């Protein structure tokens, strides 16, 4: 990653998956820029950026296109161009990440799709202009895009659309040697994940039933990110790569795993 310049969007705190990727990129010699969403997160992101000698290129709320333009202009000013982009952004109303998908409202459906799916295309449009010598774009998805998961609901629908957009963006940008991939991460306790109903149960279920009999860390997602963002993955595009301790190959509960009781406090 030495000599590569990357914009990492989606650091909220030191538990964020984006932070795991930013740390790995820095450790491998990349120059990083970070964005933050709103003032409360600026106070968290600035000290983290200092740890990586990273630029902070401003506030970005992907529902406000002017803020996307502003952070890309600042990235160009500070880094001079881009070799990679990390999009680790998702949002849905917490009330609809519990219970039944069929009860999703039109308003939250649109908002979830805009923030969790379209925003990757919106940032890809800007990043393409800065990737004058090829590049690599990476987003984050979850197995709930492929299979039903309890409470994932509209976010599962948005992630399915996000995975489809990875393929369409990869086809559009491939002729410019810009690669587009996703990591499908296993469940990790982050701020965003805390909004999902019965998340502790989901974590425990994965730990007991994944082939590696454990969950994954942000550092492990970060390390796999290096393969997709660096020249190691230079022939890989349009891919959804699972980093989930193998959970996605499982078809049935491990018979040796104990039965779990639902703990909702």
Which lies closer to ligand NAD via its Cβ, residue 18 or residue 154?
Answer: 18
Give the C-alpha separation, 173 to 171, whole Å: 6
Residue 31 token pair: 């120059």
Binding ligand NAD (rule: CB under 6 A), the pick from 57, 60, 86, 245 is 60
216 alpha carbon, distance to own chain's centre:
14
Comparison of 61 and 172: residue with beta carbon closer to ligand NAD:
61
Q: Which residues carry out catalysis?
A: 142, 152
Does 16 bind ligand NAD (CB under 6 A)? Our answer is yes
Choose between 119 and 136: whose C-beta lies nearer to ligand NAD: 119
Exactly one of 1, 7, 8, 17 binds ligand NAD (CB under 6 A); that residue is 17
Residue 122 interacting with ligand NAD (CB under 6 A): no
Closest distance of CB 200 from ligand NAD, Å:
12
| Cβ neighbour number for residue 241 with a 10 Å cutoff | 18
What contacts 173, CB < 8 A, 6 or more positions away? Answer: 124, 128, 137, 179, 180
**Part in contact with ligand NAD (CB under 6 A); list of ranges 71-79, 84-92, 94-102, 145-153:** 84-92
Is 91 a residue that touches ligand NAD (CB under 6 A)? yes
137 counts as binding ligand NAD under rule CB under 6 A? no
Residue 221: other Cβ atoms inside 10 A: 23
Query: Rounded CA gap, 166 and 158, in Å?
Result: 12
Q: Which residue in 27, 73, 115, 250 binds ligand NAD (CB under 6 A)?
A: 115
Q: Which stretch binds ligand NAD (CB under 6 A): 22-30, 58-66, 145-153, 174-182?
A: 58-66
DSSP structure string for 59-100: E--TTSHHHHHHHHHHHHHHHSS-SEEEE------GGGSSS-
Q: How far is the CB of 89 from ligand NAD (least distance, A)?
A: 4
Helix (H) or strand (E) holding 234: none
Residue ranges of the binding site: 10, 16-17, 37, 61-62, 89, 159, 188-192
Which residue, 171 or 191, has its beta carbon nearer to ligand NAD?
A: 191
DSSP per position, 109-157: HHHHHIIIIIHHHHHHHHHHHH-BTBEEEEEEE-GGGTS--TTTHHHHH
Question: Which is closer to ligand NAD, CB of 42 or CB of 174?
Answer: 42
**Please, what sign has the CA dihedral across residues 44, 49, 55, 60?**
negative
**Which residues within the stretch 174-233 sit at the binding site for ligand NAD (CB under 6 A)?**
185, 187-188, 190-193
List of residues contacting ligand NAD (CB under 6 A): 10-12, 16-18, 37, 41, 60-63, 88-91, 115, 140-142, 185, 187-188, 190-193
């Amino acid at each position: 990653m030495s000599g590569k310049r990357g914009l990492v969007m989606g650091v909220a705190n030191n538990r964020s998956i984006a932070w795991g990727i930013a740390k790995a990129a820095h450790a491998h010699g990349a120059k990083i820029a970070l964005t933050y969403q709103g003032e409360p997160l600026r106070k968290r992101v600035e000290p983290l950026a200092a740890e990586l000698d990273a630029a902070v290129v401003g506030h970005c709320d992907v529902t406000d296109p002017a803020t996307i333009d502003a952070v890309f202009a600042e990235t160009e000013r500070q880094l001079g161009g881009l070799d990679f982009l990390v999009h680790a952004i998702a949002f849905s109303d917490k009330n609809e990440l519990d219970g039944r998908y069929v009860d999703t409202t039109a308003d939250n459906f649109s908002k979830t799709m805009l923030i969790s799916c379209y925003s990757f295309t919106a940032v890809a449009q800007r990043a393409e202009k800065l990737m004058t010598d090829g590049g690599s774009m990476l987003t984050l998805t979850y197995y709930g895009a492929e299979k039903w998961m309890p409470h994932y609901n509209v976010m599962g629908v948005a992630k399915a659309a996000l995975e489809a957009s990875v393929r369409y963006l990869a086809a559009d940008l491939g002729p410019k040697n810009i690669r587009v991939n996703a990591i499908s991460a296993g469940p990790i306790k982050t701020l965003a994940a805390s909004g999902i109903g019965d998340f502790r149960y989901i974590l425990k279920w994965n730990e007991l039933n994944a082939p590696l009999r454990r969950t994954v860390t942000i550092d492990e997602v970060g390390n796999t990110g290096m393969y997709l963002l660096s020249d190691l993955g230079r022939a890989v595009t349009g891919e959804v790569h699972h980093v989930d301790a193998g959970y996605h190959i499982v078809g049935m509960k491990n018979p040796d795993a104990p039965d779990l009781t639902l703990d909702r406090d």
